[in-house]
Amino acid sequence: MQQAHDLGRPLDGVLWMVAAGLCFVGVNGIVRYLGTELPAAQSAFIRFGFGLLFLMPALWAMRGRRFSVGVGRLFLYRGGLHVIAVIFWFYAMARVPVAEMSAIGFLGPVTVLVIGGLMLGEGFSGRRMLAVLVAVLGGLVVLRPGLRELTPGHLSQLCATVFFSMSYIIAKRLSREAPASAIVAMLSVTVTLGLLPVALWQWQPVRGDQLAWLAGVAGFATAGHYAMARAFAAAPLGVTQPVTFLQLLWASILGAVVFGEPVDGWVIGGGALIILAISANTWVEARRDRAGALVIELQD
């Protein structure tokens, strides 16, 4: 019987999460390097098109599989939300410093808590409310509204975070109806098809080096999600979640070394507050879930 304090394989979980963070920083760095030469929707379409190539084995394994009408509708809803999110994200990434993008993106789990509490009837415990308030404070530290100008890029990243969070909530619902491989594969299909008309409307000539870099984005993103899945399988979120702070540090180093962006102590401090709030809430909820599972096992 697994004990309530079982941490699984914490070293494996930490190392896989470190690898995931490096991959996601690679994604951010490449998109930042490509800049604004290509429209956001076109860049996103090409990236997801390459992603489909990486997912061909999963798509082939799904041949002949049938889903209910309700599940199919959820796939479409999630794809639509993700289309909007990735357009906002690509637009912001080309215009906002890498470290700030990472810090604002950490607000995603907070948005999930808020949406879950307000729209899904999950409620707000005192702990959840405190986590949200601390994380929002961290977000205000990063953005510093009133003390500096908030650009369209900052607002775009905030919008992307909200839409990504809504997509994630639907993914949680889908996880009860479909395997993870099908959820990922269907997301790539629906997002690629959804981006196609927008990309064609703004299409610009694409150079070979731009295609190569966007293929790299797809490769890093796929590897990052794989590494994250391995981290979650190896150790609880309470172990792996704090490691995400390293992603902010690496993003700051990348921005400073490659793009000449100054290391902003406000961004690092605000990002640390956000990660602290989410990590503490995740750790407490994980302990509660393990304790509940142990009680059930003892009763069986």
Tokens representing 298 are 């003892």
Q: Is residue 280 part of a domain?
A: yes
More confident residue, 213 or 221: 213
**1 found inside a domain:** no
pLDDT at 123: 60
Quick check: helix, strand or coil at residue 145?
strand
Structural domain includes residue 214: yes
Residues facing 36 on adjacent strands? none
Residue 261 lies in a domain: yes
- Residue 80 covered by a domain: yes
Q: Kindly state the average pLDDT of the residues 92-120.
A: 80
pLDDT at 213: 95
pLDDT 10s digits, 257-287? 888 888 888 888 888 888 888 777 777 766 6
Q: Residue range 148-156: average pLDDT?
A: 86
77, 127, 167, 184, 197 from 187: Cα distances, Å = 10, 33, 10, 5, 17
- CB atoms closer than 10 angstroms to residue 70: 10
Q: What range defines the domain where residue 282 resides?
A: 10-299
Confidence of residue 297 (pLDDT cuts 50, 70, 90): very low
Whether residue 15 lies inside any domain: the answer is: yes
Mean pLDDT of 120-147: 76
Query: DSSP label at 243?
Result: G
Using the predicted structure, report yes or no on whether residue 117 has a pLDDT greater than 70.
Answer: no
242-249 average pLDDT score: 79
| Predicted pLDDT of residue 292 | 47
Per-residue model confidence (pLDDT) at position 245: 77
Scan for tokens 């405190």, then name that residue.
130
85 lies in a domain?
yes
Nearest to 16 by CA among 197, 257, 223: 223
Average pLDDT over residues 206-234: 87
The gap between the terminal CA atoms of the chain, to the nearest Å, is: 12
Calculated CA dihedral for residues 10, 14, 16, 21, nearest 10 degrees: 160
Q: How far is CA 161 from CA 92, 112, 157, 168, 177, in A?
A: 11, 10, 6, 10, 25
Asked if the structure places residue 3 within a domain, the reply is no
Domain count, the chain: 1
Confidence tier at 2 by pLDDT (50, 70, 90): very low
Lowest mean pLDDT among 14-28, 153-167, 190-204, 225-239: 225-239
pLDDT digits (tens, 9 = 90+) for 98-108: 888 888 888 88
DSSP 235: S
